[in-house]
Structure 1
Amino acid sequence: MNPLTPSPFRGSRRAGQHRSHRSLRGLTLVELMVAIVLGLLILGGVIAVFLSNREAFRTTEQLARVQENARTAFELMARSIREAGGSPCGRNLPTANVLNNTATTWWAQWGEGLRGYGGSDEFPVKGFGTGHAERVPGTEAIVILYGDSNSAVPVVSHNPTSAEFKVGSIAHGVKDGDVLLVCDYKQAAIFQATNSNSSNVTIVHNTGNARSPGNCTKGLGLPVVCSAVGTQYEFQGGQLMKLAAEAWYIGNFTRADGRTGRSLFRARLDSAATVQVEEIVEGVEDMEVAFLSSSGTTLATDYVPPAGVIDWNSVVSVRLTLTFQGSERVGTDGQALRRQSIHVIGLRNRLS
């Protein structure tokens, strides 16, 4: 073929090269900007969904915590209030309280079984203040006393002269100084153990100054006469158990990281007549207690605050109102979640 003669394939090669160059061309600035804008819109939507789901999760978590706190608080308080003034031996038994200084010791005032305190009433357990575990002004409180049936052991014999009980097991769990309640089908008595150990079944309730507050007499009969012998009474069988005394109130808390707030606190009578103060539930802002009384078989028409109770022995039911607050600001108004719960508890020992 003559080299000067145009090749029939030369044009097609040029067209192919031109198409190849067009296929290798990059994005224009306008196309790039459009792609970036679309990507930002998609990313913004994803972030909005993420933030919305995160807030929903935080709100749900706070609600769950508030509900769990409410269940814990009401379950523990109701368990104690139901037993107020009671013992395993029977209802309304005459009780000889031979402890010293019963009038000035909150956990030894057995005659009432329970007592409520208004928002400005002086509380014998903790005073008002801003320190850790001190009571928050304006919040109400309640004290409960009962015989702890979970610690009860059977009485095998009782010698009033030597002030000794023999119980049915060495696993009685009683230590020197423990405050105890003993009862049979006729009467009950409250005293302090002066000598006891886990190697035998003997529990002694003598007088003396070895323990505080101590017993004013070794006689456990009625009427109580504070002398060495006192009024004698021999318990015929029955049950011996630890005296349970609890005080519930709203107090301040302070954490190591500087965080502060309010919690539900419990002060309880512990071993050897010591009082332990425990923080039970965080985030309880307020507590209100109201009481329903009865006169014979006739119930009062409504619950009344502590100041309205005439006779604490006539109280048959307690209405608790607790206000809970979450720890994070996830409410619709930018504040912490607040919920109020009400629970009504009947006293087993006094309901007919």
Structure 2
Amino acid sequence: MKHRHPQYKFGHGFTIIELMISIVIASILMLGVMQVFYANKHASAVGSGLARVQENIRFALKDISYAGRLAGYTGCSDNLTNHLDPDDDGYDEELFNFENATGGWEFSDGGAPSTTSPDQSYTLTTVTPAADGTKWDNINDEGLPDSLVDKVVPGSDVLVLKWADENTDIEIKNMTTNGAITVGDNDIEQGTILMVSDCSGADAFQSFPSKSGKALTRASGGSGKSPGNKNPGKNNWSKAYSDGAEILFFVSRAYFIGQGVSGEPALYRISYTQGSTDAVIEELAEGIENMQVLFGYDVDGDGYADRFVTAQDLPDHAGVVALKLAFLARSAEEIRENPASRDYTLLGTTITSPSDGRLRYAFSTTIKLRNKGIK
């Protein structure tokens, strides 16, 4: 009987061609995975960048719209007497003429018409504030005041809003038409701009409390605070207010585009509640690259804006009843895959961005000044 030995089949392994095909297939699969990963990462970066831009936009609009709604408020009387000294070096009509709710400067770059007025174009080249305040212009053909020089980025306008703010809750105990206001306990700081008001009149002044704090005077006494007041001996109060009157803080606030602490452009505000000497500057929203402002002017006195013009072309601020604001916001990081320069239209002005990969978004709003025009 023959014995059969089992026969074993030995594998021959993979050929070089099969291995190469496997490597190619694996590479294709890996490339697909990497592309999906990269696409998701890029989409996440775009979404995150856009969300940050939109967040900054919302915050900017909220703050400036709130100020716009308050602008022009002077208590229950429109009959305001302004005692601030117009001859002081720190006085500026746009900042301290409280008979007007608004003020501002148009970036003109020394020309007329302005390089950023409607139908004009401007290319953004820097986020470094300009050292030359004469690049801006207003209705009085004046450049920026000292408090704004070296703070504003070229290409953007400056908006000023003014109003009487919260009540100080200071009790008026005694007052004559030409003396100090005798008051109750308070913690008003030297140089604070206040307004005393009732429904028949209002007086705005820079306050210099006595050492006891029991009197609010208009005499600076060499305090160094600016702009100070007109000579109290020659400029009486409009009336002697009684204990039923209110003493309110008066706010003058300028909005502009400056360079933020991170080096990015940002929306700023500077408050002059203690005059020009101790103005307080705050960064509001990072990434706001440009701001354009148009003032709605009421020509026929019906309370509605008949035309919108730049600060340079305004006849006066008394007829301003509305504002149009436009902003260009950008992401902090370069996200776009193909860097390029792009054009954006802000209130009729063509703003050209630098050639980079940042996300940008243009937005605008119209604000009715509730305390001007129809009430």
With the shorter chain as reference, the TM-score category is 0.7 to 0.9
Question: Counterpart in 1 of 2:33?
Answer: 46
Aligned to 2:365: 343
Equivalent of 2:195 in 165, 175, 181: 181
CA contact (8 A) 1:207 1:215 kept: yes
Give the letter for the 1:177 counterpart: G
321-330 or 102-111: bigger deviation:
102-111
Aligned residue type for 2:318 = N
Q: Deviations over 1:157-177 (max 9, x none)?
A: 33236613435xx5x552233
Partner residue of 1:240 out of 238, 244, 247:
247
Structure 2 residue 234 is the aligned partner of structure 1 residue 262 = no
- Does the 8 Å contact 1:178/1:193 carry over to 2? yes
Give the TM-score normalised by the residue count of structure 2. Answer: 0.74
Match of 2:103 in 1: 115
Are residues 1:62 and 2:49 paired?
yes
- 1:297 paired to 2:302: yes
Do 2:182 and 2:214's aligned partners in 1 also have CA atoms closer than 8 Å?
yes
Are 1:143 and 2:160 matched, yes or no?
yes
- Structure 1: which 5+ residue stretches go unaligned? 220-224
Of 238, 245, 249, which residue of structure 1 is paired with 2:256?
249
Q: Quick one: structure 1 residues 208 and 59, their matched pair in 2 at CA, closer, same or farther if it must change by over 3 Å? A: closer
Equivalent AA in structure 1 for residue 240 of structure 2: E
SS at match of 1:299: coil
Shift of 1:234: 1.5
The structural deviation recorded for 1:296 is 2.3
Query: 1:11-62 CA distances to partner (integer Å, 9 max, x unpaired)?
Result: 2x422xx04x44xx64443332222221111100000011111111111122
Alpha carbons of 1:68 and 1:114: their partners in 2 closer, same or farther (altered >3 Å)? Answer: same
Q: Is the 8 A contact 1:248 1:267 kept in 2?
A: yes
Tell me the secondary structure at the aligned position of residue 183 of structure 1. strand
Inter-partner Cα distance in structure 1 for 2:303 and 2:201: 26
**Distance change in 2, residues 1:337/1:232 (3 Å):** closer
2:345 is equivalent to residue 329 of structure 1: no
2: CA distance, partners of 1:98 / 1:271: 12
Q: Deviations over 1:218-242 (max 9, x none)?
A: 57xxxxx34xxx3573212222122
Taking structure 1 as the reference length, what is the TM-score of the superposition?
A: 0.79
The answer for the alignment partner of 1:318 in structure 2 is: 323
Q: Which amino acid aligns with 2:241?
A: F
**Aligned with 2:334: secondary structure?**
coil
Q: Deviations over 1:161-199 (max 9, x none)?
A: 6613435xx5x55223322111111111122332269xx
- Post-superposition shift, 1:271? 4.8
Root-mean-square deviation (CA), in Å? 2.8
Aligned equivalent of 2:219, options 207, 211, 235: 207
- In the other structure, the counterpart of 1:222 is none
Q: Does 1:93 align with 2:79?
A: yes
In the alignment, residue 217 of structure 2 is paired with which amino acid?
H
Distance 1:336 1:189 in 2: 49
Contact 1:102 1:109 in 2 (8 A): no
1:124 aligns with 2:129: no
Contact 1:62 1:326 in 2 (8 A): yes
Once residues 296 and 20 of structure 2 are traced to their aligned partners in structure 1, the CA distance between those partners, rounded to angstroms, is 75
Residue 288 of structure 1 and its aligned partner are, at CA, apart by 1.0
- For the 8 Å contact 2:188–2:209, the answer to whether it is kept is no
Q: Which is helix-richer, 1 or 2?
A: 1
Q: 1:142 Cα shift?
A: 1.2
Cα distance in 2 between the residues matched to 1:51 and 1:254: 32
Identity of aligned residues (%): 24
Task: List aligned pairs for 1:275-286, cutoff 5 A.
Answer: 275-286=279-290
How many residues end up aligned between the 2 structures? 316
The residue identity in structure 2 corresponding to 1:264 is L
Q: Is the 8 A contact 1:163 1:218 kept in 2?
A: no
Q: How far does residue 111 in structure 1 lie from its aligned partner after superposition? A: 2.5
Question: 1:77: how far off?
Answer: 1.1
- Secondary structure of the residue aligned to 1:112 is coil
- Is the 1:157–1:235 contact (alpha carbons within 8 Å) kept by the matching residues of 2? no
Q: CA deviation at 1:275?
A: 0.7
1:330–1:108 Cα change, 3 Å: same
Give the distance between the partners of 2:88 and 2:198, measured in 1 at CA: 22
| 1:284 Cα deviation after fit | 1.8
